[in-house]
Amino acid sequence: MGVIYILWLRELKRYVRSKVQIVVSLGQPALYLLALGFGFGPVFAKAGKGSYLQFMAPGVIGMTVLFSSVFSGIAMLFDRQFGFLKETLVAPVSRLQIMIGRTLGGATVAIIQGCLILAVCLIAGFRPAHWIAIPLSFLFVGLIAVVFAAMGTSLGSVIQDMQGFQLVMNFLVLPIFFLSGALYPLSNLPRVLTWITHGDPLSYGVDGLRGVLIGSWQFNFSLDLLLLGLLAAAFLGTGAYLFSRIQL
């Protein structure tokens, strides 16, 4: 447990020291929220769907957590390059513990990012159906963060150069985001697209956030919670296996 705590604390300190990262990382979510939220608001309202800002705010929170948690895997490439990863791997501790520590560190950073963009959403005019829903929403924020932080760490275990990691991330992360229903409802889609969106892990995280915060469900609370929990366990297990096979 000591190793897990040390690695978790290291990731958190690295994030806190980078004040520029904290500010810059909020730029894209804020742009989506303000440009799309207010830009498409009148169209969404005319379609009889209510406030688009209310609809998309949970999706923007999910997007923020997704990007932050997945890209935490980049830190492993820096550690590999500068030798810290080698020092960690030769220590007499389980690699599963190292994997869990790094994943929890990346997930914690993503949760903090989610908190910050939630504050931006509230300032922009987003209002949850009940204020008590905000603490409950962090159950889904945490699950999204763990799922995709474990995915990022898994990919960081098998990719050895920064260029390759960025290409894979763009190939995976953007489709995961755009097919999750963060920006549009998942109902009444073509059948093939419905199957694809139902296979997207982020769909269940965004649905959980949206359901808890504004009471709009595509699936249901139990299904979202169960699938995200299973995916978190699966990615942690896969990541631990790939991490154990790292060759320095």
Taking alpha carbons only, the member of 151, 101, 121, 142 closest to residue 55 is 121
Query: What's the pLDDT at 48?
Result: 64
- Are the C-beta atoms of 113 and 190 separated by less than 8 Å? no
Total domains in the chain come to 1
Any idea what DSSP says for residue 186?
-
One-letter amino acid for residue 35 of the chain? A
> 181: which 2 tokens?
């229903």
Containing domain of residue 83, as a range? 2-244
The model's pLDDT over 198-228, given as tens digits with 9 standing for 90+, comes to 999 999 999 999 999 998 899 999 999 999 9
The angle at the Cα of 179, spanning 215 to 242, to the nearest 5 degrees, equals: 110
The model's pLDDT over 126-153, given as tens digits with 9 standing for 90+, comes to 889 888 888 889 999 999 999 998 888 8
Q: What's the predicted TM-score (pTM) here?
A: 0.88
Q: What is the CA radius of gyration of the chain?
A: 18
